[in-house]
Amino acid sequence: MNVLSYGFMRHALLAVIVVGAVAPLIGIYLVQKRLALIGDGLGHVAFAGVAAGLLAGISPVGVALAFAVVGALGIERLRASRRAGGDLALSLFFYGGISAGVVLASAGGNFNANLLGYLFGSVLTTSHADLVVVGVLGLVIVGTVYLLAKELFATSFDEEAARVSGVPVGLVNGLLAVLVAVTVAVGMRVVGLLMVAALMVVPVASGRLLASSFKGTIFASMAVGVTSGIMGLFLAFYLDFAPGGTIVLVAIAAYGLVGLRDRLRRRREVFR
Amino acid sequence: MLTATGGPLLELSGVHYAYEGAAVLQGVDLAVAPGEFVALVGTNGSGKTTLLKVALGLLRARSGTVRLFGDPVDRFHHWARIGYVPQRMAVARGVPATVREVVASGRAARIGLLRRAKAEDRSAVAKCLAQVGLEETADRPVSELSGGQQQRVLIARALTGGPDLVMLDEPTAGIDQIGQERFVELLRMLNVECGAAVLLVAHDLGPAAPLVTRVVALSGSIIYDGPPVGGTGLPAYLLPEMHGHEHGGHEPGERAGQDRGPSAAGEREGGRP
């Protein structure tokens, strides 16, 4: 029997394709700026939003998005001011987020499977309405990156030189922060808040070994992200694993293969 | 629309800057006129990199004024007229980028927000690549190039806007002899053939000595400003002074060991905090 005859699998597949493409597209700029772990921290902050949303009885995804946007802009301000002890301030932010989430969830009596779905992903329960949200946010992310591609590249490659060449670096960094927050909100359904950062960064680790240009790395990373998402979803379905974790493990396995290929190729070059 | 011809391209007056409580610049006055080739020399901790960053608006002076093409630096908009060449390229551990991609990024602001590169932009980038002799490596990742080639990529990037004033921060540190000779030839073309003014920040005049029309020595404040003298470019009475600050204070963007040639290259790749 065909897997895709299940409606929930069709929904899940579409969601996974969008997130698999969009997360590495944003992650590439974070890797370039050496902020690979920011997505993880924002996931923590978004968790407080989910718990607050559940407590207040309004859309947990919407509140999480709002928390993540505010958190991302706050982090960007900290980073731009390069204040001493910046990483300590970041950790206060992140652990403040997750502990506030735990407290809010317990206060509302929301420590249940529903909450776990936000933490670890629940792609198989993606509804038609969820899919519309994921699709629209995904289009917003891709469209913004398309329109600002040259500014995003200039800024993430060399912020000072970009500023001196006249690029509005503050605006570009602020927009990137918002895009990271939106990606966290989109990815939360598929791989969960605790693993969304992995999908932003791990495919980029493969992509940078597969391409030699920035543009090439974007497409390679997106291809790896989408492929890992699809393979992980099917593996999880047949083996009855949790899809979120399976997708991330497939992406890591892909990196293992690509890294091995890269290493063998380098060795051949040395002996030539 | 801009400064009348003859006005200084860059003008600092009474500039003070302190970093974590320690005074780095103490009342610096400096003006660069069109067509000049100024070498700003000083030891580690003399404040020369800080001065350059203040001049570019990357750091804000605590007091004093900074003007670019007659406009206060925080209200300056004609950034295409400035070319900035940083000390080195941040390539380690990053995402790959080709020579052409990096050079083209210098033109992003000139193309404008939400606009895409047109044929004329692509040909301007190709011209800059040709000027620095990197047409053939245009599609290779910058991480595969030598230090000297990477430096030329950064110069080409600074040229894409068609600048009237080029500022370079210790561009020859860690570059081999041949690389340095090519670099000096490029500076000559920029200054003599294209007529751009050059402000070269360096530990000493080095291979660029024949091009320099004016030497400015910095040690917290300006201790010499005049034509180059002798082989070092500086009057003999200043030489002990210039070597007495080797273990001076730190300034942002200039870390210990940065001036000491290629052997220190490995330590530098950690990036800024």
Q: Which range (A21-30, A80-89, B65-74, B85-94) has the least confidence?
A: A80-89
Min Cα separation B169/chain A (Å): 12
d(CA A37, CA A204): 13
- The total number of residues shown for chain B amounts to 273
pLDDT for position A93:
86
Cβ contact, residue pair B139, A162, below 8 Å: no
Which residue matches tokens 């360096």? B202
| B179-206 pLDDT per residue, tens | 888 889 999 999 998 899 999 999 888 8
pLDDT for position B233:
78
Q: State whether residue A166 sits within 8 Å of chain B by CB.
A: yes
Mutate to test the interface with B, among A82, A160, A164, A200 (most CBs of B within 10 A): A164
Average pLDDT over residues A40-62: 94
Chain A (21-40) residues lying within 8 Å, Cβ to Cβ, of chain B:
28, 31-32, 34
Q: What are phi and psi of B114, to 5 degrees?
A: 65, 10
d(CA A94, CA A74): 11
Which of A14-28, A122-136, B106-120, B193-207 shows the highest mean pLDDT? Answer: A14-28
Quickly state the pLDDT bin for B248 (edges 50, 70, 90): very low
- pLDDT of A144 higher than 50: yes
**Could you tell me the CA-to-CA distances from A225 to A19, A133, A205, B136 in Å, in that order?**
8, 20, 11, 33
Quickly state the pLDDT bin for A271 (edges 50, 70, 90): confident
Which residue matches tokens 């180059």? B228
Q: State whether residue B163 sits within 8 Å of chain A by CB.
A: no
β-sheet with B214-219: strand ranges across? B82-85, B165-169, B197-202, B37-41, B214-219, B221-226
Other CB atoms within 10 A of residue B146 CB:
12
- Enumerate the residues of chain A whose CB falls inside 8 A of the CB of residue B272: 82
On whether the CB atoms of residues B97 and B142 are closer than 8 A, the answer is: yes
pLDDT for position A85:
58
Of the candidates A34, A166, A207, which has its C-beta nearest B109's C-beta?
A: A166
Q: Which range (A212-221, B116-125, B132-141, B176-185) has the least confidence?
A: B176-185
- pLDDT of A188 higher than 80: yes
Quickly state the pLDDT bin for B240 (edges 50, 70, 90): confident
Residue of B nearest to A218 (CA): B95
- Predicted ipTM? 0.92
Min Cα separation A202/chain B (Å): 13
Domains along the sequence of chain B with CATH = 1-46+64-77 (no CATH), 81-163 (3.40.50.300)
β-sheet with B10-19: strand ranges across? B22-32, B10-19, B63-68, B71-72
Average pLDDT over residues A52-75: 94
> How does the average pLDDT of chain B come out, rounded?
84
Quickly state the pLDDT bin for A159 (edges 50, 70, 90): very high
Cβ contact, residue pair A163, B58, below 8 Å: yes
Average pLDDT over residues A228-243: 96
DSSP class of residue B185 equals H
pLDDT for position B255:
40
| B151-176 pLDDT per residue, tens | 999 999 999 999 999 999 988 777 88
- Enumerate the residues of chain B whose CB falls inside 8 A of the CB of residue A150: 104-105, 108, 111, 116-117
| A198-211 pLDDT per residue, tens | 999 999 999 999 99
Of the candidates B101, B107, B158, which has its C-beta nearest A213's C-beta?
A: B101
Min Cα separation A163/chain B (Å): 8
Cβ contact, residue pair A211, B96, below 8 Å: yes
- Enumerate the residues of chain B whose CB falls inside 8 A of the CB of residue A174: none
pLDDT for position A84:
53
Mutate to test the interface with B, among A81, A144, A145, A150 (most CBs of B within 10 A): A150
Cβ contact, residue pair B105, A154, below 8 Å: yes
Mutate to test the interface with A, among B105, B110, B167 (most CBs of A within 10 A): B105
| B54-107 pLDDT per residue, tens | 999 999 999 999 999 999 999 999 999 999 999 888 765 589 999 999 999 999
Q: What are phi and psi of B101, to 5 degrees?
A: -60, -40
d(CA B146, CA B136): 14
**Tokens of residue B31, six digits:** 């003006």
Chain B (123-142) residues lying within 8 Å, Cβ to Cβ, of chain A:
139-141
On whether the CB atoms of residues B25 and B50 are closer than 8 A, the answer is: yes
**Tokens of residue B73, six digits:** 């630096």
> How does the average pLDDT of chain A come out, rounded?
93
Cβ contact, residue pair A164, B95, below 8 Å: no
Quickly state the pLDDT bin for A83 (edges 50, 70, 90): low
| A102-130 pLDDT per residue, tens | 999 999 888 888 899 999 999 999 999 99
Domains along the sequence of chain A with CATH = 3-194 (1.10.3470.10)
**Tokens of residue B108, six digits:** 């992003």
Cβ contact, residue pair A212, B157, below 8 Å: no
pLDDT for position B272:
36
d(CA A236, CA A146): 33
On whether the CB atoms of residues B54 and B29 are closer than 8 A, the answer is: no
On whether the CB atoms of residues A162 and A155 are closer than 8 A, the answer is: yes
Average pLDDT over residues A10-25: 97
Residue of A nearest to B99 (CA): A213
> Which is higher by pLDDT, A254 or B172?
A254
Query: How do B197-202 and B22-32 pair as beta strands?
Result: unpaired
- pLDDT of B124 higher than 50: yes
Average pLDDT over residues A161-181: 96
d(CA B246, CA B238): 14
Quickly state the pLDDT bin for B254 (edges 50, 70, 90): very low
